[in-house]
Amino acid sequence: MAMWSLGGSWCRGRAIPCRTTRNWISRRTECAGHSAVVLPQCSTSTCDVRRVVVPQSQARKRTRSGWPVPVRGTMMDTPSRPHSTHAPNLAHAGRRLRVVVGMSGGVDSTVAAMLLQDAGHDVTGVFMRNWDELNETGACTSEAEYRRVQEVCARLGIACHKFDYVKEYWNFVFSDVLASFRVGLTPNPDILCNRHIKFGAFLDEATTRLDADYIATGHYAQNVIGPGDLPALARGVDSNKDQAYFLAGMPADVLRRVMFPIGHLIKDEVKKMARERGYRDIADQKESMGICFIGKRKFRSFLQEYVVDRPGGRIILHEGSRPLVHPETHDGVHLFTLGQRASIGGMHQRCFVVGKDVRCNDLHIVRGNAHPALATATVLASDVRWTAGAPPPDGSRVCLQFRHRQQALDGTVYLPGATAPAETRQVSNVMGHIPGETKPVWWPLHADECEVLLDVAAAAVTPGQAVVVYDATNHLCLGSGTITDTDIGTGAGYCNVES
């Protein structure tokens, strides 16, 4: 019986390893000592089988622990077990590397450093101070976090450093976030932080100051070898924790110097490793999910400190054949996100935001979350960054992701220079899809833009967030861009709504 059958499809007689007992079993056979039948790509069965990228030349090889070596080529089913998935480790087999790990004191970065130590590398920990807590009393506890990182590094037996990026964070992340909110967008600070700080300033300083061969982080993503032997980004095995969305658009020359040691693991396995190695206190601590410059404050309170309110804005309800102006007003469209629930007094049914007119400060809403205006089929993206440096062919079939933890959606990508309508490009102040209205055209596309057309309309696609483009065949990340607008058409603005 053949051990492996290469290719994306599942074949009937194929053998796979049970992730718990490591016995080789067929598709239709129960593993000895197991009650669950192993199903293809099943995320709920006991034997949870995962798909990873594997080189054809290494498809029949296995590591010392008996698990396949995942790196490049075609798609293949394999369980999520501890093994080396980053291309750099394989490219420098047998060489002791100097790796600088971005440490937060949490379980993910701790286990990442631990695995690199187990692989025999020279590991150093670095704490990145990105926000000045003296400016925001109580909003961020960077000194306490640094002490925790020092303690973790001491227990691991590795050196610990602190890099200060307060100035860079303010200039390249925080300022851009505020500028986006002011024009009605909903930005993603994590993507900007990864681009400019963790895989920008930190990578440069770790290389020059600490003479690092690579940097590593505790992100749930995988650095693999893609077409043309170029580094490529793949999703983390843990679909619930996958962070490739926040890393997409990272160029190949950066990826070739980065490691993601825990990308092939699920969160429970990471915590189990930490507990087994004496780090139970770290494994059991509450996970930090917030943004450092917001701290424990409510988001609205934070935003109102930096972006001036615009009170008196109209709330326009789209119902029936004619839009109605609600008697209540709002404090500015920058406080709302497309697709979010809007709490409007006197409305017995839930209302949702479908459009924002920045110039007129009008907020457009509909009743219920099933309204067709909440769906988007066409998206314009700008500041598009392709991992390989060049885009895929125009009209390529791709998979698209518009928010974290979202299942990738099938679609088509169109690029600048393609055959375009005869209309002249127009500019719109309106974001979203207002019932009964059409939008100004986007053509011709600018050099850093792309247009994506979904096979099936998606809900609440939000300008300012990222759209990540994946190859429809091997599911590697091709690149990402910032969502600028949604739904294409012709027409004017929406200020002429009667009061």
pLDDT of residue 286: 84
Q: What percent of the chain has pLDDT over 90?
A: 47
**Average pLDDT in the 209-229 region?**
94
Q: What are phi and psi of 141, to 5 degrees?
A: -115, 60
**Average pLDDT in the 362-373 region?**
88
Per residue in 303-326, pLDDT tens? 888 888 999 999 999 887 788 898
pLDDT of residue 15: 36
Per residue in 444-491, pLDDT tens? 888 999 999 999 998 888 999 999 999 998 889 999 999 998 874 332
| Residues tagged active-site | 193, 292
pLDDT of residue 372: 85
Question: Closest by alpha carbon to 103, among 129, 139, 141?
Answer: 129
**Average pLDDT in the 290-312 region?**
76
Residue 432 and residue 352 in contact, taking contact as beta carbons nearer than 8 Å: no
pLDDT of residue 459: 86
Per residue in 169-214, pLDDT tens? 999 999 999 999 998 899 999 999 999 999 999 999 999 999 999 9
pLDDT greater at residue 495 or residue 133? 133
Return the residue matching tokens 């603005």: 493
Instruction: List the structure tokens of 150.
Output: 């020092």
The pTM for the full model equals 0.77
Per residue in 94-111, pLDDT tens? 678 999 999 999 999 999
pLDDT greater at residue 288 or residue 117? 117
pLDDT of residue 71: 33
pLDDT of residue 425: 62
Residue 300 and residue 307 in contact, taking contact as beta carbons nearer than 8 Å: no
Alpha helices in 183-291 (DSSP H): 189-193, 202-209, 244-247, 252-255, 267-276, 280-283
pLDDT greater at residue 281 or residue 65? 281
pLDDT of residue 288: 72
Per residue in 382-392, pLDDT tens? 999 999 888 99
Residue 317, number of CB atoms within 10 A of its CB: 18
Rounded to the nearest integer, the mean pLDDT of the chain is 77
Residue 347, number of CB atoms within 10 A of its CB: 15
Q: What secondary structure does DSSP assign to 334-392, as a single string?
A: GG--TT-EE--TT-SS-EEEEEEETTTTEEEEEESTT-GGGEEEEEEEEEEEETTSSPP
pLDDT of residue 481: 96
pLDDT of residue 6: 25
Residue 378 and residue 452 in contact, taking contact as beta carbons nearer than 8 Å: yes
